[in-house]
């Protein structure tokens, strides 16, 4: 009996410790096996996002399977809101060593409930690599934070693997342009600090409007215009590849640069010659066909096997 198939986009990441250098690539399989096997209940794997959050949102690996060949783990990742009422993940599920998405969906259907999970996706890890079906407009940062917490390693880094088109030599890249949508506009010059990093976010349109206002502030025709509504601002970064930098190291740098990008459509790479490279072309991805049930649910074993094939390709190409 044939099943309906749907295209699933798999994204690839390199696992490393401390920075993106090739020498620091790491295999987390053994550590992950020890951690996952050591928990008696799923609730023990719950990472609270913020202890002062009234919603008590948590991330967790709800289900996992060890794969013999290739030596890997296939995991289900959820963001949940635990609680006592029917709108939340019940304690009886969290008390189990692990639980599947089928169990969550059966609970939703039997009680006619909306989605009990705020987000769900799958990932698989093998060797120095991790692949996931996490949607393309979501960065990998949340999964990196969770795995760092779970493994007790704050230096764990997941860096997007990149796929520079063969017809564009790396040394021919001239500059990279980021449109205003690329920059987080929720802050204007505000510094966001964590224990391990410091990030400054800013709004390109605000900056451009301010500069124009300073230059032409005395022009009456401009003084009454809301400049932010009519201008478009781009950040252009000049780019060059050091002669002593290897192709692999260069790809790590490129991967680290696109890591915080949620919308790659706002990014373009301009070579010295030839066509522009669109941002969505840069990450290394693979489109796979995965069977779905008649009710539209993904066949998890089919997805697991496609992820294993992709991981095997990545390990063979290094």
User: Domain-by-domain residue ranges, the chain?
Assistant: 5-161+284-317, 170-185+199-281
User: Of 132, 22, 37, which Cα lies nearest the Cα of 75?
Assistant: 132
- CA-angle at 292, arms to 296 and 36, nearest 5°: 100
Which residue carries 């500059």 as its tokens?
175
Q: Which residues pair with 159 in a beta bridge?
A: 14
pLDDT value at residue 189: 40
Separation of alpha carbons 130 and 112, rounded Å: 35
Select, from the ranges 188-192, 226-230, 243-247, 262-266, the one with the highest average predicted confidence (pLDDT).
243-247
Select, from the ranges 5-19, 177-191, 201-215, the one with the highest average predicted confidence (pLDDT).
5-19
Separation of alpha carbons 43 and 238, rounded Å: 48
Parallel, antiparallel or unpaired: strands 156-160 and 4-17:
antiparallel
Q: Which residues contact 285 (CB under 8 A, 6 or more apart)?
A: 9, 10, 11, 12, 136, 163
Q: How confident is the model at residue 301 (pLDDT cuts 50, 70, 90)?
A: very high
Separation of alpha carbons 24 and 22, rounded Å: 5
pLDDT value at residue 206: 60
pLDDT value at residue 83: 55
**What three-state secondary structure class fits 21?**
coil
Task: Please state the pTM of the whole predicted model.
Answer: 0.74
pLDDT value at residue 283: 84
For residues 146-163, give the mean pLDDT.
92
User: Of 251, 242, 243, 266, which Cα lies nearest the Cα of 164?
Assistant: 251
For residues 65-90, give the mean pLDDT.
83
Q: Pick the more confident residue, 261 or 149.
A: 149
Instruction: Decide: 80 and 72 in contact? Cβ < 8 Å.
Output: no
Instruction: Decide: 44 and 167 in contact? Cβ < 8 Å.
Output: no
Instruction: Decide: 139 and 261 in contact? Cβ < 8 Å.
Output: yes
Q: Which residues contact 226 (CB under 8 A, 6 or more apart)?
A: none
For residues 212-238, give the mean pLDDT.
53
pLDDT value at residue 242: 66
pLDDT value at residue 108: 78
Task: List, for residues 111-144, the tens digit of each pLDDT value.
Answer: 776 677 888 999 999 999 999 999 988 889 999 9
Q: Pick the more confident residue, 95 or 230.
A: 95
């Amino acid at each position: 009996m044939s099943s309906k198939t749907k295209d699933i986009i798999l994204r690839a990441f390199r696992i490393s410790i401390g920075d993106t250098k090739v020498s620091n690539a790491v295999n987390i399989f053994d550590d992950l096996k020890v951690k996952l096997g050591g928990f008696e209940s799923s609730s023990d794997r719950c990472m609270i996002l913020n202890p002062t959050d009234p919603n008590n949102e948590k991330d967790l690996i709800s289900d996992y399977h060890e794969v013999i060949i290739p030596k890997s783990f296939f995991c289900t990742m959820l963001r949940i809101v635990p609680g006592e009422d029917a709108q939340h993940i019940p304690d009886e599920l969290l008390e189990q060593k692990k639980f599947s998405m089928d169990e969550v969906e059966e609970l939703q259907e039997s009680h006619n409930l909306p989605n009990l999970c705020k987000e769900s996706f799958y990932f698989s890890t093998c060797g120095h690599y991790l692949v996931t079906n996490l949607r393309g407009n979501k960065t990998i940062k949340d999964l990196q934070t969770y795995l760092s917490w779970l493994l007790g390693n704050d230096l764990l880094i997941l860096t997007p693997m990149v796929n520079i088109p063969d017809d564009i030599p790396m040394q021919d890249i001239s500059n990279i342009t980021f449109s205003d949508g690329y920059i987080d506009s929720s802050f204007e010059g505000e510094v966001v600090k964590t224990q391990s990093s410091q990030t400054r976010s800013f709004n390109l349109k605000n900056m451009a409007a301010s500069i124009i206002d300073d230059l032409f502030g005395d022009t009456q025709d401009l003084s009454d215009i809301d400049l932010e509504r009519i201008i478009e601002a781009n950040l252009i970064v000049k780019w060059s590849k050091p002669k002593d930098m290897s192709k692999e190291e260069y790809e790590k740098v490129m991967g680290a640069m696109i890591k915080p990008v949620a919308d790659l459509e706002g990014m373009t790479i301009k070579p010295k010659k030839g066509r522009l490279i669109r941002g969505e072309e840069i990450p290394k991805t693979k489109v796979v066909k995965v069977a779905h049930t008649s009710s539209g649910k993904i066949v998890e074993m089919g997805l697991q096997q496609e992820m294993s094939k992709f991981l095997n390709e990545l390990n063979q190409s290094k």
